[in-house]
Structure 1
């Protein structure tokens, strides 16, 4: 069954001179392909640049993993600071957490042997622990459990905030 060509829809009252007019044909679709080889090089260059930037962002993200893990552990310790029964253990865990974080960021020979006043000086120069939070960290790290138990919840929160600030902002010269 062959179909007859469809007759154009023309209103019956159209003058004969206008009935023979046809619609203008549309031009062919414009190709999105580049017309010259230069655009191909530009596209390859942009793709390469985007891949390099993505690789660099991924490496930066991976290098900061120790910070994210330390902040997560600090969050778990902070949750225990308001309870009198667990405050001492949580405070005692902040010092080793900061030490592990520093060991992950700095050369082991520079950080591993530091303790006491030298450790507090390192924390002051590499991230901004102040004297009060340094004294609290010293007490929480080296004092007997009975002395750690005398630290108030407000002081404990202040120490946790100082530790959080140090973990988030410390930088080590390479």
Structure 2
């Protein structure tokens, strides 16, 4: 009798095929969908925010042009009137028209001071009714009269950037 080891009749071990990268598991599909959804939401949010604040960048560009025009013509009353006109247009865009349209003089300065958290607008002759009379010199609340155009430009830019509806 021939005694053979029964284990010798088994085939040798073989390894399974390596795990492939495709198709991914369901978890990766879910992660990809969540990532795409987040990108879409961030894009929509950014677009809406940009659209909502686009008027600010256009107003800042207009303020720069007004200041450059002042430097060419040196008319302080013209600078004050054009700056106020720009601020009024921005305010009409950002706030309800019935709240802004009728404001002038001290109430206009108070509105600018309140909505921009900038008390420098109060008693500043470039932003009240003195700007309409070229016979009355415009005087700054701070600094020298030579700094007046820079102050008007600075206050205009700051209010456009900082106002809150």
Taking structure 2 as the reference length, what is the TM-score of the superposition? 0.74
Matches of 2:163 and 2:63, distance apart in 1: 15
Q: Is the 8 A contact 1:78 1:90 kept in 2?
A: yes
Count residues with an aligned counterpart. 145
What runs of 5+ residues in structure 2 fail to find an aligned partner? Answer: 1-16
Against the structure 1 CA distance between its residues 84 and 146, is the aligned structure 2 distance closer, same or farther, given a 3 Å change threshold?
A: farther
Matches of 1:84 and 1:123, distance apart in 2: 27
Q: Is the 8 A contact 1:116 1:138 kept in 2?
A: yes
Tell me the residue number matched to 2:157: 164
Q: Is the 8 A contact 2:116 2:163 kept in 1?
A: yes
| Cα RMSD after superposing both structures | 2.7
Against the structure 1 CA distance between its residues 90 and 38, is the aligned structure 2 distance closer, same or farther, given a 3 Å change threshold?
A: same
Larger RCO (alpha carbons 8 Å, 6+ apart): 1
Shift in Å, 1:171: 0.8
Matches of 2:34 and 2:109, distance apart in 1: 49
SS of the residue aligned with 1:76?
Answer: helix
Taking structure 1 as the reference length, what is the TM-score of the superposition? 0.71
More displaced stretch, 66-75 vs 151-160 = 151-160
Matches of 2:127 and 2:58, distance apart in 1: 23
Against the structure 1 CA distance between its residues 132 and 37, is the aligned structure 2 distance closer, same or farther, given a 3 Å change threshold?
A: closer
The 5 A counterparts of 1:47-66 are 47-66=36-55
The answer to whether residue 154 in structure 2 is matched with residue 138 in structure 1 is no
Q: Is the 8 A contact 2:70 2:79 kept in 1?
A: yes
The answer to whether residue 96 in structure 2 is matched with residue 107 in structure 1 is yes
Against the structure 1 CA distance between its residues 67 and 114, is the aligned structure 2 distance closer, same or farther, given a 3 Å change threshold?
A: same
